[in-house]
Structure 1
Amino acid sequence: MDKPRLWTRDFISIAITNFLVFTTFFYLLVTLPIYALQELHGAESEAGLITTVFLVASILTRPFAGKWIEKAGKYIVFISSLIVLFAASILYFIPQSLIGLLILRFFHGIGFGMATTATGAIVADLIPESRKGEGMGYYGLTLNLAMAIGPFLGLTVMQQTGTNVIFIINALCALFALVAGLFVRLPKKAFMPERVIERKTSMKIGNYLETSAIPVSLVSAFLGLIYSGIISFVSIYAKEQKLVEAAGYFFVVYAVVLLISRPFTGKWFDLFGANIIIYPAILCFAVGTFLLSVSNTSLLFLASAALIGVGWGTVFPSFQTIAIQVAPPKKRALATATFLSIYDFGFGIGSFIFGIAATKIDYGSLYFYCSFLIIIGSGVYYLLHGRISSRSIVKKVKREIS
């Protein structure tokens, strides 16, 4: 029997949209703090608020975006979010003060929170159930590629051109994301908004968070906290280790390894279940971080990038797939919002926490301890989801035998 199609026009369009949305996020992540310091004459502590304000707006928006999707429909929220992102990108030419830039970043963060929630909910409807792990793996790959290309593009443009060019490229990426989004067509059952019955208890937490997705979301936040600390300081660490040239290729190697491994890891998720993929991936993540802590040559440094790419690049989309699978079909948008909000919280505070830690110990030691925290993360996964998944597999095997 032929497998249902995965690479449809709609899936490709939503993947391109997601890639461009996250490319602009990481592109501005590395360029705006420098712009704030050099052009707006802000302090380093103030420049750090540029990312914080954006993520706060995104986190606050996502639970409401999940409810908006239930009321208005995925497509309306999806297109509206892309319009907000494009409008925000055009407005970057206007602010002449740090306060003005922070207000714009909050507005931009609202659009980002809406877009990432809507795209996650839509892609869950577009991927066939029998290929959910594989499809979500490829979808997650767009985020990881954006994380490699965005910073590389941003730093290259900043070094070779002026501020206007930086903002023009940002606006073009947002425009292309909107155009790609217009090509997406949802299945009829996913196009219509759900009937929502207003209740007096409308402010209860279950209306804004999908509780079934919380356990695996907490695991992603724990590991995401560690991951954000790793990538935030890897360029500084490379400079200390006199590996500046290799630092430029860290995320390139990361992305290439992801491209090679993704066709296999997603399919294995579907064939053998989450645990078979996640435990080895967490181990790769830990070993890669350990190698990073002892890297004194370019070979070790880039080998760590490869292992971290396989590890984290497999773990993150697998967790997102689980969050969607454990939720009722009508709650997938809310599950996506829950997962990304909790993850962003961990990611957002990670670099801050590890920045404080880095004032007490050197970066090599910091990465060394991180590798053990990642191993602890496998225990957190077991307690919050892995043991439940294992029991489900055992029951399935018993049913098949009987």
Structure 2
Amino acid sequence: MEQSTRLWTKDFIGISLSNFFLFMTFYFLLVSLPVLVIQQFGSSKTEAGLITTVFLFSAILIRPLAGYAIEKLGYKKIFITSLVIFLGSSTLYFFAETMVTLLVVRFLHGIGFGMATTAAGGIVATIIPKSRSGEGMGYFIMSASMAMVLGPFIGLTAIQQGDPTVLYSISVLCSLLALITGLIIRFPVIDAMETVRSDFRFQNFFATAAIPIAIVGAFFAIVYSGILSFVSVYAKEIGLIEVSSFFFVVYAVVLLLSRPFTGKWFDLYGPNVIIYPAIVVFAIGMYVLSGSHTAVGFLISAALIGIGYGTIFPSLQTIAIQKVAPSKKGMATATFLSIFDIGIGFGSFIVGMIVAEVGFRSFYLSSSLYVLAGIIVYFVLHSRKQNAQKTKQEVSV
């Protein structure tokens, strides 16, 4: 019994490290490549934005296919193949001498990333003890959160060297480490692969049970995209550019400190006890951010958003995975992340237009009300149905 409830196994550590290096590559290229293409190719800011759009588009496109392939071929073949594609794409950056070839490489890189993160989410959901699913998924997703702090720092530092070779070398190194740490995993076996149909039906590519909670995730992702894309610009506007780099550091530290408690509470008391307060804290964080005039207020908002959103996201992904059979966990991960990424991509576009009209303070202030409205969205799409099922089960007993 003790063995079956262990969380920090070699396999869990391996998949978490592999996920960390995947997201390290993603985040430091996210902040550095747009700067590079403007300097090296003389591209416009709009063209530079395509660097991220093409990457996310291919990742979103491949995820449903990856979820389907996992059920057909198993986790090991898909995960290792995806890591090889990811590593191979990283080496191709050295040969991208035009904007067009760079976009082709980004498309291929996004395919590897989409496949790998889909498989990784399914693998970790399978190897985590069921009684510790909330805690385990929280720690796993925290590996991406740590990369979100270190990645941009490394990317911006590397780009200051003025040599793209340094940047591309780091990409290859991180991709290689993702592959090496991925190879130490004992991959779970899908028992029900023979039940997978070969025809192209919607349910063969999307876990329909996970779609409602994925929509909830996309709802919050729209606001979060406004933080990822514009918080540093906002900091410069309000005269706090010198502390902007610490925003995600505080975010990650608070997330790290809170994770042991929030994950265990999820497993002990259920998602509602965690998610409803987290939504409120997230909304308060957005309100504080909108009124920040000092470094203290700015960083307090980072801490509140770290506790709030940093708890919401892994909790929602855990719910998505819990809603399906063990053989469908890879597909549930693909469904959740695909819809979530659509929220991030759509949000970045919409937020840019809104900010141009009303300004950052008004946007972040209204975002606090938008986040609070997420209580209703979560209740309608998940909590109400969960309560109804629980009542039905109690009556039948």
Compute the TM-score of the two structures, normalised by the length of structure 2: 0.96
1:129 to 1:97, Cα distance in 2 relative to 1, 3 A: same
Mean Cα deviation higher: 203-212 or 295-304: 203-212
CA–CA separation in structure 2 for the residues paired with 1:48 and 1:57: 15
CA–CA separation in structure 1 for the residues paired with 2:261 and 2:391: 24
Write out aligned runs for 1:298-309 (5 A): 298-309=295-306
Mean Cα deviation higher: 210-219 or 353-362: 353-362
Q: Shift of the alpha carbon at 1:203?
A: 2.2
Match of 2:326 in 1: 329
Q: Shift of the alpha carbon at 1:153?
A: 1.6
CA–CA separation in structure 2 for the residues paired with 1:309 and 1:396: 36
CA–CA separation in structure 2 for the residues paired with 1:396 and 1:243: 54
| Correspondence 1:348 to 2:373 | no
| Correspondence 1:375 to 2:372 | yes
Q: Deviations over 1:161-204 (max 9, x none)?
A: 522111111110000000000001124x44x77115545xx222
CA–CA separation in structure 2 for the residues paired with 1:97 and 1:366: 37
Match of 1:121 in 2: 122
Partner SS, residue 358 of structure 2: coil
| Correspondence 1:203 to 2:204 | no
CA contact (8 A) 2:18 2:182 kept: yes
Match of 2:44 in 1: 43
Partner SS, residue 96 of structure 2: coil
Write out aligned runs for 1:125-140 (5 A): 125-140=126-141
Q: Shift of the alpha carbon at 1:206?
A: 1.1
Write out aligned runs for 1:85-100 (5 A): 85-100=86-101
1:322 to 1:198, Cα distance in 2 relative to 1, 3 A: closer
CA–CA separation in structure 1 for the residues paired with 2:196 and 2:369: 47
Match of 2:112 in 1: 111
CA–CA separation in structure 1 for the residues paired with 2:129 and 2:395: 26
Runs (5+) with no aligned partner, structure 1: none
Amino acid at match of 2:100: I
From 219, 236, 240, the counterpart of 1:239: 236
Q: Shift of the alpha carbon at 1:396?
A: 6.7
CA contact (8 A) 1:69 1:193 kept: no
Q: Shift of the alpha carbon at 1:388?
A: 2.0
Q: Deviations over 1:92-135 (max 9, x none)?
A: 11111111111111111110110011001110111011111110
Amino acid at match of 1:169: I
CA–CA separation in structure 2 for the residues paired with 1:198 and 1:274: 33
CA–CA separation in structure 2 for the residues paired with 1:176 and 1:152: 19
Partner SS, residue 92 of structure 1: helix
Q: Shift of the alpha carbon at 1:29?
A: 0.5
Query: Percent same amino acid at aligned positions?
Result: 52
Q: Shift of the alpha carbon at 1:248?
A: 1.4
CA contact (8 A) 2:250 2:299 kept: yes
Write out aligned runs for 1:213-362 (5 A): 213-362=210-359
Q: Deviations over 1:28-86 (max 9, x none)?
A: 11001001101111111111111111111011100000111111111110000000000
Partner SS, residue 337 of structure 1: helix
Partner SS, residue 295 of structure 1: coil
CA–CA separation in structure 1 for the residues paired with 2:242 and 2:391: 49
CA contact (8 A) 1:71 1:194 kept: yes
1:395 to 1:360, Cα distance in 2 relative to 1, 3 A: same
Match of 1:11 in 2: 12
CA contact (8 A) 2:197 2:204 kept: no
Aligned residues: 396
CA–CA separation in structure 1 for the residues paired with 2:242 and 2:197: 58
1:256 to 1:387, Cα distance in 2 relative to 1, 3 A: same
CA–CA separation in structure 1 for the residues paired with 2:192 and 2:119: 13
CA–CA separation in structure 1 for the residues paired with 2:224 and 2:383: 21
CA contact (8 A) 2:72 2:196 kept: no
Partner SS, residue 6 of structure 2: coil
